[in-house]
Structure 1
Amino acid sequence: MKNLITKINTVGQEMVVVTGTSTGIGAATARQLGKRGFHVLAGVRTNMDADKIRDINIEPIMLDITNEVHISALIERITSDKKQRPIRALINNAAIEINVPIEVLPLSEWRRQFEVNLIGQVAMIQALLPELFKSKGTVINISSIGGKVAMGGYGPYAATKFALEAVSDSLRREVEQLGVKVVVVEPGAVTSEMSKRVRSNAQRITNEMTKEQRSRYSKLMHAMVSQAESYIDKAVSAEKAGQIIANILNNKRPHTRYTIGSDAAMLSVLIKYLPDRLLDKLIARSMKPHLNAELF
């Protein structure tokens, strides 16, 4: 690994844009890239987050990916760079996750989740592609194993990730012959601030349900939280996930997809070979030990 990092440092001061670097995978990826000699433009939402991520090779940028003014300011920063450093990669990591049965989530929240997890990603791709064509760079879209299999209660989030996978496949077939590489990363369970908020979010959502909805879905919500919390000790660390993502830029011809974590790898195989009904039974069986949980 030491020799690998030394080799990367000789690349020179190329720039990488990483969105959603306040915590978790995004912050870890930014730190890994900074250590390897890249100049990282790290998207954050607050001054406090900017202060936390700032480092010798990490330049925080105020970036709400649903805000056209923010994106325009980022492009201005890139095109006016005094050192004229090329953009090596765009790493689309910013996302929100609201896990709730399909009946329950208000349409306004559906729209918000799609605005961040899909439309915002596309906005970043459209804005950065002209620079990536010049540099023959890479688009790395951080999806989820939820972009391949939609568990009960995870439908809204999974829908955005399924859509991001489709965008990534189409984009790859459009631009690869033009010199731009497109990669999808599909993490399973990763320790992050998002994963730590599972119980409080589930409690809030359950409390906001109607009496009838609670009678239908309360047991599912408790089981979802119990199962998610049971994965925490087995989850991949954000730092490890960041290393895997940063390593993609080592490859002149990277894979089109990377899974992170044994759970994601196993589900990828099951999805590929099992018929839907059998997969449904296996998912139901995995939830069964958690159905009697009462956590809030």
Structure 2
Amino acid sequence: MSVEGRSAGVAGSGVVITGASSGIGKACALYLDSRGWRVFAGVRKAADGEALAKAASPRLSPLILDVTDAKTVSDAATQVEKALGDVALIGIVNNAGIGTGGPVEFLDPSELRRQMDVNLVGPLTVIQAFMPMIRRGRGRIVNVSSVGGKVATPFVGPYSASKFALEALSDSLRAELKPWGIEVSLVEPGAVKTAMFEKARSTVDDVLGVLPAEGARYYGNEIEAMRGLIASQERVAVSAEAVARVVEHALIARRPRTRYLVGRDAKLMAFFHWLLPDRAFDRLLATTMRRLSRRASMGKAEPLD
């Protein structure tokens, strides 16, 4: 990917990253810091910010920012504006997010509300708070979505619903901001080498633990089979820094893409979803999950190809 365009003017420019205490957000914060950016790394806990600062240059500033708390978002925007002074804020990276799962039939509506609050309303709150600075600096907005925002799969309905919604919001925002030359990009990773795999395995246990007897009878075997899919994804996962490099491209390229699929698994899934009719894709997915479950039960795992 070429990064011609704004790259010469990046040094010292400001970028805000939410959810920077771990995973993709942390990788983005450290990578962009190493590339000369003035990084404001959003975290919810002071201890996480201190740990991040120790691993970075003095350019990186931890920022207490909970995307579900409008006051902390507003306070963070004020803090960034004061810190930057006349320096431009040329990027927001909305990365903070959570993932919940389980069969839709037995989904607690409060879990769906929480999922939407973090993954959809949270980015909206951040965008609105920092938009005056983005306008002044003609900055960019990068929303971290997922291949799950293009392809919905069983038992992750709440997560996919939030990412589908984030993609729609981003599409509308991109069109609305076009007259001012403000770019909006979506980054859509597949599996990434972070703590997501331990969380995913824990989520399987949690879902099985709270399902009523009827739900376990209907869906227990299929949810248990998710362990095979998780093991397969772990094998093909890309590094978090690979996602960070894509984020930088979206921030500095002369003509950034509107969407960036990251990872071979994400590209394959999106391709087959585009190629096949819905029911044919459903059959392919079900067959793949059964195959992976069988192999996982034999102590093996294989990639989705």
* TM-score bin, normalised by smaller chain: over 0.9
Q: Deviations over 1:42-75 (max 9, x none)?
A: 0111122112211222111111001011111111
* Aligned equivalent of 2:51: 52
- In 1, Cα distance between the equivalents of 2:10 and 2:195? 33
Q: Deviations over 1:185-230 (max 9, x none)?
A: 1000111112222112211221111111111111111111221122
Cα contact 2:249–2:256 (8 A) shared by 1: no
CA shift, 1:250, in A, is 2.8
Does residue 135 of the first structure (1) align with residue 137 of the second (2)? yes
Cα contact 1:8–1:36 (8 A) shared by 2: no
- In 1, Cα distance between the equivalents of 2:163 and 2:192? 16
Q: Evaluate the alpha carbon distance shift between residue 46 and residue 9 of structure 1 in structure 2; reply closer, same or farther with a 3 A threshold.
A: farther
Matches of residues 83-232 of structure 1 in structure 2 within 5 Å? 83-232=85-234
Matched AA of 2:25 = G
Matched AA of 2:273 = I
Question: The residue matched to 1:197 in structure 2 has which SS?
Answer: helix
* Aligned equivalent of 1:29: 28
* Aligned equivalent of 1:63: 65
Structure 2: gaps (5+ residues): 299-305
CA shift, 1:255, in A, is 0.7
Does residue 39 of the first structure (1) align with residue 38 of the second (2)? yes
Among 228, 234, 240, the alignment partner of 1:238 is 240
Segment drifting more, 105-114 vs 263-272: 263-272
TM-score by length of 1: 0.93
Matched AA of 1:51 = E
CA shift, 1:279, in A, is 1.0
Q: Deviations over 1:156-210 (max 9, x none)?
A: 1000000000001000000022121000010001111122221122112211111
Sequence identity (%): 38
Over the aligned positions, Cα root-mean-square deviation in angstroms equals: 2.0
TM-score by length of 2: 0.90
CA shift, 1:291, in A, is 4.3
The number of aligned residues is 292
Matched AA of 1:12 = A
Question: The residue matched to 1:34 in structure 2 has which SS?
Answer: helix
* Aligned equivalent of 2:18: 19
CA shift, 1:9, in A, is 6.7
Cα contact 2:11–2:35 (8 A) shared by 1: no
- In 2, Cα distance between the equivalents of 1:209 and 1:294? 22
Segment drifting more, 267-276 vs 163-172: 267-276
Structure 1 residue ranges (4+ consecutive) displaced by more than 3 angstroms after TM superposition: 7-12, 290-295
Cα contact 2:40–2:60 (8 A) shared by 1: yes
Question: The residue matched to 1:20 in structure 2 has which SS?
Answer: coil
- In 1, Cα distance between the equivalents of 2:244 and 2:144? 11
- In 2, Cα distance between the equivalents of 1:12 and 1:245? 16
* Aligned equivalent of 2:301: none
Segment drifting more, 219-228 vs 7-16: 7-16
Cα contact 1:271–1:279 (8 A) shared by 2: yes
Among 245, 249, 268, the alignment partner of 1:247 is 249
Structure 1: gaps (5+ residues): none
CA shift, 1:8, in A, is 4.2
Cα contact 1:9–1:38 (8 A) shared by 2: no
Question: The residue matched to 1:61 in structure 2 has which SS?
Answer: strand
Cα contact 2:93–2:143 (8 A) shared by 1: yes
- In 2, Cα distance between the equivalents of 1:47 and 1:251? 33
- In 1, Cα distance between the equivalents of 2:240 and 2:84? 33
